[in-house]
Amino acid sequence: MAKIDKLFQSLLSSSGSDLHMAEGQPPKFRIHGRMVKVQHPVLTADSMREYLGEICAPERWKHFHETNDLDFAYAMGDVARFRCNFFRQANGYGAVFRLIPAKIKTLEDLNLPPVLKTFGNLRSGLVLVTGPTGSGKSTTLAAIIDYINVRDARHILTIEEPIEFVHQNKRSVICQREVGLDTNSFAEGLRTGVRQDVDVILVGEMRDLETIALAITAAAMGSLVFGTLHTNSAVKTIDRIIDVFPAGQQSQIRTMLAESLKGICAQLLLKTSDGKGRVACNEILLGTSGLAATIREGNIGNIRNVIQGGGNMGMQLMDDAINRLLVAGRITGHEAYMKAIEKSRFAAHATAG
């Protein structure tokens, strides 16, 4: 048992999601979105080296000291997995550990909109799950991949940095590749993936032009591609994808995106009004002929109208979803105001709760 496992066990018993460690400070847990100080001596260089070095393979420890950054996953037996990020900061060592539940939750377990199952039923196209860091994108994508795995016999490839949720083969065959170990980059994993008779590809992060271009191309070639971006609405997601390309290529990309984009699920996690947890809130955009025309014509501002007009299909705007949680008493007025896109709509609730 590694020394740090005691901190992880304490995190689990506290229902926390993250462990933060920084030289010169005591450890802290993130519990239901709030940072909580742990009763523990201030971390020194020696104690940090002991905590971090024990769970890190020698070659990775060497790489960390050469680059000052490291991402990998650590399994605490069969109890839990953690996404680990080591870094250097002004006072020395730093690290953040994100809990990855051992059991993959279903879409029903997560209380996510049932319309997300339609993404798993697709045979081709591009589907994006977006949101800020810590909003549960990986958890939602794992649930969708598991939905496919349970229902269909398909070849699924995931390209991740690091591998978070570990999928067992059910009806599908799943190949999980880790950037830095099994492939050099997301782009390289995608480039080779399209030659591996793959039905479904999960790209852990679409962070650069090459990866985004290859994802759109793979979707256009007939694969079902899932990806993530750090955007909090459908409009900003489409803008981000198009803007990453040089001006001379944007018309072509709009055409390709119009044909391949099948859906966007933007996700936020909001603190519940009882202070005992967090609840997911989603904006949903589905691929329709109206959406395709809107993207092709560059009329991105019309996407809100597409979503509002598609309510009977399961589409919804983020602020409408936030308002439903507020009316139901699930979140406070202050939380609604803080997470809303159009804050003026919730200005009267800004100081409530």
Whether 213 maps to a domain, the answer reads yes
Q: By C-alpha distance, which of 137, 147, 128, 148 is closest to 100?
A: 137
pLDDT per position as a tens digit, 159-168: 999 999 999 9
Whether 348 maps to a domain, the answer reads no
Same-domain status, 177 and 49 = no
Residues 6 or more apart in contact with residue 72 via CB below 8 angstroms: 56, 60, 84, 162
Q: Are 83 and 97 in contact (CB under 8 A)?
A: yes
Whether 62 maps to a domain, the answer reads yes
Residues of the domain holding 13 = 5-101
Same-domain status, 14 and 50 = yes
Same-domain status, 277 and 188 = yes
pLDDT per position as a tens digit, 45-103: 999 999 999 999 999 999 999 999 999 999 998 888 999 999 999 999 999 999 998 78
Same-domain status, 167 and 296 = yes
First to last CA, the chain: 43
Same-domain status, 64 and 89 = yes
- pLDDT, residue 352, reads 63
Q: By C-alpha distance, which of 81, 111, 86 is closest to 12?
A: 81
Last residue of a domain, one of 101, 122, 150: 101
Same-domain status, 80 and 132 = no
Whether 64 maps to a domain, the answer reads yes
Whether 189 maps to a domain, the answer reads yes
Q: What is the rounded CA–CA span in Å between residue 53 and residue 93? A: 11
pLDDT per position as a tens digit, 6-38: 999 999 999 999 999 999 999 999 998 899 999
Q: Is residue 353's pLDDT more than 70?
A: no
Same-domain status, 121 and 96 = no
pLDDT per position as a tens digit, 109-146: 999 999 999 999 999 999 999 999 889 999 999 999 99
CATH number of the CATH domain containing 269: 3.40.50.300
Same-domain status, 264 and 294 = yes
Whether 240 maps to a domain, the answer reads yes
- pLDDT, residue 185, reads 95
Whether 233 maps to a domain, the answer reads yes
Q: By C-alpha distance, which of 50, 153, 135 is closest to 93?
A: 50
pLDDT bin (cut points 50, 70, 90) of residue 44 is: very high
Same-domain status, 193 and 231 = yes
Same-domain status, 89 and 145 = no
268: its two tokens:
């936020």
Same-domain status, 93 and 193 = no
CATH number of the CATH domain containing 45: 3.30.450.90
Last residue of a domain, one of 69, 101, 133: 101
Q: What is the rounded CA–CA span in Å between residue 260 and residue 244? A: 17
Whether 148 maps to a domain, the answer reads yes
Domain total in the chain:
2
Q: What is the pTM of this model?
A: 0.90
Same-domain status, 42 and 125 = no
